Amino acid sequence: MAISAILFRVCTLAFFLAEMVRADGSQCRPNGEYSTAINRLRNDILCSYDVFVRPVRQYNDTVDVKVRLSLRRIQFDERRDSLEVHSFFLMNWIDYHFVWEPAKYDNIDNLHVASNTIWIPDIGVFTSADETSFSLYKPPTICIIYNDGVVVCAPASTHTASCSADLTHWPYDRHTCNLVMGSWTHTGEKVNVSLMERSVSMQFTDRNTDSQP
């Protein structure tokens, strides 16, 4: 028990230090030190960026986050009463920090960045059966930011939701499972999460996968 507590504290400290380094952003340097336009651009928009601050001009402004699930695999476990959804979790929003004039940077109008170097919404599944369904636990991915402030991320994700099995009409049973998503630390007034027009895509779905026996 004592060893587990010590390991937990060490892991928590390591996570805290990593997040502090991440929040500090890149060191700002004079533009003259960069020989390429893309490095100048990265310096200008990221050098004093804080990943823990919502990307709004006024504190009471809302960040509107649009999401879409591009399904890869769905697995229903009747024994555990859980639904596991594997998908590409597409998200986009506007970050006013990322607005620039392409003409000043050799007409560069987009930039690829690591997700842990920018603010991302802490979206999770409130009906989750697994705490790792929350974006806080996801490994970094690559996001694209555009010169008008639009940010697009599409990490590979696994969401696990609790879902009671009703086997009354087995083997012709049907199950309705709900994935209730939202920001873990912000109210809807601060971070509003909504579905895109095409909220679910089956383009990448493995159609040979179904429920567990």
Domain of 147, in residue numbers? 55-201
Q: What is the DSSP letter of 28?
A: P
Let me know if residue 71 belongs to a domain.
yes
Let me know if residue 97 belongs to a domain.
yes
Instruction: Provide the pLDDT for residue 206.
Output: 56
Let me know if residue 112 belongs to a domain.
yes
CATH of residue 139's domain is: 2.70.170.10
- 11, pLDDT greater than 70: no
Residue pLDDT, tens place only, 158-212: 877 777 766 676 667 676 777 777 888 888 899 999 888 776 655 555 544 444 4
- 73, pLDDT greater than 60: yes
Place of tokens 């892991």: 11
Q: How many domains does the chain have?
A: 1
Let me know if residue 156 belongs to a domain.
yes
Is residue 41 classed as helix, strand or coil in its secondary structure?
helix
Q: How far apart are CA 124 and CA 126, in angstroms?
A: 6
Which has more pLDDT, 54 or 25?
54
β 142-146/156-162 pair status: unpaired
Let me know if residue 74 belongs to a domain.
yes
184 closest CA partner among 150, 142, 133, 139: 133
- 35, pLDDT greater than 90: no
Let me know if residue 30 belongs to a domain.
no
Is residue 118 classed as helix, strand or coil in its secondary structure?
coil
